């Protein structure tokens, strides 16, 4: 199977340059993090980088190609240089209620719509996003070929990783600090051992299976009265902030 080479550094900015030459000066990129995870929120981000040298963020690349330390450095540069940026976190109850694809598109749309100033053109990673007032283009592997999409991928990934580190403090038995809620052998073993917590997505087969397994192990009630509390975690939704240019909304 042929491996597509990573783009040369200048290639990351060529798509935006071509769009600007057509008269669209402010170009937003939108991307998400956590769509394939079975725990934790979905995080979507949008970003408009300035034209010229200031928009050439040092070290910028698809977030998946960067080390955690590099992502943090690039994140700080993006926040400092961006014309506008936003991050939207969708909590697990909403993902379970409405489904991943619907909430993913809504999150991307919302991330773009709250940008201030608003963009003239929007590039999205992979999925077309309907309902935007601007012309849009869904770009296959956009986070590897368009700088603004790569910037959005870094904003989303760093934000979500920070959330998962906070969730690890609440639920240390699952190892969220290591796998960030994605399906790994360690995560699957913890799920089977402890059952899911309120940050697990019940639409995932492995989570539903672990929940059913946990139910079979639950102690039976005796005497027909009273409620047995075996320490189950709260199922109340987690409130995550919406960040627009670093200001909590």
Tell me phi and psi for residue 90, to 5 degrees.
Answer: -105, 115
**CA 173 centroid distance within chain:** 23
Q: Cα separation of 61 and 52, whole Å?
A: 17
Average pLDDT taken over every residue of the chain: 87
pLDDT at residue 222 in the model: 40
**CA 176 centroid distance within chain:** 15
Which DSSP letter does residue 141 get? T
Q: Cα separation of 170 and 134, whole Å?
A: 41
Residue 52 pLDDT > 60, yes or no? yes
One-character DSSP codes across 202-214: TTSHHHHHHHHHH
pLDDT at residue 214 in the model: 79
Q: Are 89 and 183 in contact (CB under 8 A)?
A: no
In the three-class reduction of DSSP (H, G, I as helix; E, B as strand; rest coil), residue 195 is classed as: coil
Which DSSP letter does residue 59 get? T
Q: Are 85 and 55 in contact (CB under 8 A)?
A: no
In the three-class reduction of DSSP (H, G, I as helix; E, B as strand; rest coil), residue 46 is classed as: strand
Which tokens is 218 given? 């639950």
| For range 117-145, the mean pLDDT | 95
| For range 68-75, the mean pLDDT | 97
pTM for this entry: 0.85
**pLDDT digits 0-9 by tens, 149-185:** 999 999 999 999 999 999 999 999 999 999 999 999 9
**pLDDT digits 0-9 by tens, 210-230:** 998 878 776 544 433 332 223
pLDDT at residue 215 in the model: 80
**pLDDT digits 0-9 by tens, 75-104:** 999 999 999 999 999 999 999 999 999 999
């Amino acid at each position: 199977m042929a491996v597509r080479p990573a783009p040369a550094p200048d290639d990351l900015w060529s798509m935006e340059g071509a769009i600007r030459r057509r008269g669209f000066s402010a170009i937003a990129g939108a991307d998400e993090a956590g769509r394939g995870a079975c725990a934790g929120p979905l995080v979507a981000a949008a970003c408009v980088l300035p034209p010229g040298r200031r928009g050439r963020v040092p070290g910028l690349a698809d977030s998946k190609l960067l080390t955690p330390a590099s992502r943090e450095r690039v994140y700080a540069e993006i926040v400092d240089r961006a014309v506008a940026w936003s991050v939207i976190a969708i909590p697990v109850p909403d993902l379970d209620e409405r489904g991943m694809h619907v909430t993913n598109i809504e999150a991307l749309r919302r991330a773009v719509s709250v940008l201030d100033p608003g963009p003239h053109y929007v590039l999205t990673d992979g999925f077309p996003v309907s309902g935007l007032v601007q012309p849009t283009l869904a770009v296959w592997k956009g986070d590897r070929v368009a700088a603004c999409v790569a910037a959005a991928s870094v904003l989303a990934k760093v934000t979500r990783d920070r959330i998962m580190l906070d969730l690890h403090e609440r639920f240390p038995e699952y190892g969220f600090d290591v796998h960030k809620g994605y399906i790994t052998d360690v995560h699957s073993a913890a799920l089977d051992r402890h059952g899911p917590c309120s940050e697990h997505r019940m639409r995932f087969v492995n989570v539903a299976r672990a929940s059913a397994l946990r139910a079979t192990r639950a102690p039976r009630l005796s005497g027909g009265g009273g409620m047995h509390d075996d320490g189950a975690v709260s199922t109340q939704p987690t409130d995550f902030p919406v960040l627009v240019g670093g200001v909590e909304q």
